[in-house]
Amino acid sequence: MTIQNSNDIEWWNELALRLNGYQGNYKVNFVGLNGEVEFTNLVKDLLRDHPNTLDVGCADGRFAIDLSSFASRVTAIDLSPVMIEAAKKSTKAPNLEFIVCDAKEMPFSDNSFDLVISRRGPVSEPVFLEEAIRVTKPMGKIIEITIGERDAIEFKDVFNRGQGYLNKSKSRYLEIRNRLELNSEIKISQIHEYFCDAYYPSIEDVALLLSSTPIIDDFNIESDLPLLRTIETEYHTNKGIRRTYHRIIWIAEKL
Ligand SMILES: C[S@@+](CC[C@H](N)C(=O)[O-])C[C@H]1O[C@@H](n2cnc3c(N)ncnc32)[C@H](O)[C@@H]1O
């Protein structure tokens, strides 16, 4: 089986069909702050005074469903109809709506939401950022957690390919910070990057990770087996197979 490039929405549709959503069944332990818990806490804090929320690139809706018990209203969008179908099956929350649409062109009026969030969805790139700003109310906030250029760099070096691999020497933190600073419609409230080590108990867990995420383009468990063996040999530690975890979190206010 070959995992196609994640820029293609068919990849996300196929993944959602195969996993019945977006949840890989692998084990992992983190040593240090990986940013994901911090992101959840920041979003929950923001929800207190930003009642009407949009989740961009919600996949199977797990995060949006979790947020719906803290928020007055959550709208969650994704380009993959199969992800949205899985999301709709998972909840009957009355304050939560799932919509299939492109984050580049959302079917919402200007200034619609108090808070726009994205957990590893498409918001940082210029065209998506402009659209996220358009639908945010003045004094509303945009918060994103996104993937840094050093993420899983050990695995990508072995495969000599992967998500963002061509830009592995460019600081995504600086790129995003510059983009946000140069945008006169918003003001950065905070931006941080997080590095930590993640440990996978076995090479089977690494194989499951790579089969259920877009880390390595065109991952094929049969033809890539020798490369998995290289990872097992080179990154084996007494805590498991080590990989760098790199995340960037930013919050901006619309002026
Ligand atoms: C890494 S997943 C997001 C995971 C999810 N936010 C979570 O917290 O579990 C990225 C999602 O972005 C969606 N996506 C990719 N391009 C998109 C676009 N142009 N518009 C809307 N969603 C898009 C994909 O379908 C995928 O479900």
**Residue 166 belongs to what domain range?**
9-254
The atom of ligand 1 lying closest to the CA of 83 is 27
Q: Is residue 3 part of a domain?
A: no
Using the mean position of ligand 1's atoms as its centre, give its distance from the Cα of residue 122 in Å.
6
Q: Is residue 170 part of a domain?
A: yes
Cα radius of gyration (the chain)? 18
pTM confidence score: 0.95
Sign, CA torsion 115/119/121/124? positive
Q: Is residue 4 part of a domain?
A: no
Q: Is residue 250 part of a domain?
A: yes
What are φ and ψ of residue 100, in 5° steps?
-85, 115
The atom of ligand 1 lying closest to the CA of 128 is 19
Q: Is residue 238 part of a domain?
A: yes
Q: Is residue 2 part of a domain?
A: no
Using the mean position of ligand 1's atoms as its centre, give its distance from the Cα of residue 103 in Å.
9
The number of folded domains in the chain is 1
Q: Is residue 1 part of a domain?
A: no
pLDDT at position 6 over 80: no
Rounded to a whole number of angstroms, the distance between the first and last alpha carbons of the chain is 48
The atom of ligand 1 lying closest to the CA of 118 is 6
* CATH number of the domain to which 136 belongs: 3.40.50.150
Chain centroid to Cα 189, Å, comes to 20
Q: Is residue 75 part of a domain?
A: yes
pLDDT at position 5 over 70: no
Q: Give the pLDDT band (50/70/90) at residue 7.
A: low
What are φ and ψ of residue 150, in 5° steps?
-95, 5
